[in-house]
Amino acid sequence: MDDPPDWIAEFTVTPKEFAAHLDALEDSGRTPVTISTLAGHLTGRAPLPPRPVLLTFDDGFADLPGPTADLLARRSLPATAYLTTGAITPGGRSLLPPAPMMTLDRVTELERSGMEIGSHTVSHAQLDTLTGKRLRAELFDSKAVLEDALGHPVAHLAYPHGYNSPRVRAMASRAGYETATAVRHALSSERDERYRIARLIVRRSHTVADVRAWLAGDGARVAPYRDGPKTIAWRWYRHTRAAVRGPEFAG
């Protein structure tokens, strides 16, 4: 987007910058894959192609079907879109602040363009702070909505803002997800955890040089690794706040 809402601007790039990032990807010699291809490797079913890279898009903003998907399709670049069903379903409710969103009836269009569809929960809550009942609803209900719309199973999940825990990961497995992506702002690896796959966040401040470095395997730590003290302290702070205020937006 050229003029995104303030709350999401940090995680937004302009169309011109996005095209430059895709140019860097094509120049890198990497092989774009979907999450299902990565899942095949992590479960031992099939090897990855040489130098794989996975593009993911979260939430389901209005530019995803159409401008974004079309640009990827013109370059024959597959990708994975994780959709927040409460934000894209008519009458649905989510914790996402106001923004132009796509609608559920366009998910088949996304799939036809070459994007694999995954769940990004119902409301975009901080999953690791929820009660068991609320957590189950977030994971099971979003999966069911997308499967009804697409007519086939949806096997992949992305945790909103990456927030997860052993309890959340176990529930994701029980819900029938084959993988779940976190954030961690790190490069994934062949040893990565299937229910906590690392991703890199592209922020507005990142340059094309940053993207080229990541594509070369530089400029970021490599997962898996243990959570640091700051991450653990932030987690406890969020848990305490959620106990007082109730479910909160993961952002």
Residue-wise pLDDT for 199-216, tens only, equals 999 999 999 999 999 999
Which of 83-87, 157-161, 177-181, 230-234 has the least mean pLDDT? 230-234
Residue 1 pLDDT: 86
Of the candidates 204, 214, 223, 186, the one whose C-alpha atom is nearest the C-alpha of residue 25 is 214
Gap between the Cα atoms of 196 and 184, Å rounded: 9
Is the model's pLDDT at 234 over the cut of 90? Answer: no
Residue of higher predicted confidence among 58 and 234: 58
Q: pTM for the full model? A: 0.95
- Residue 245 identity (one-letter amino acid): R
Is the model's pLDDT at 35 over the cut of 90? Answer: yes
Residue 242 pLDDT: 87
Residue 243 pLDDT: 86
Is the model's pLDDT at 130 over the cut of 90? Answer: yes
Average pLDDT over residues 125-131: 96
pLDDT tens digits along 141-198: 999 999 999 999 999 999 999 999 999 999 999 999 999 999 999 999 988 999 999 9
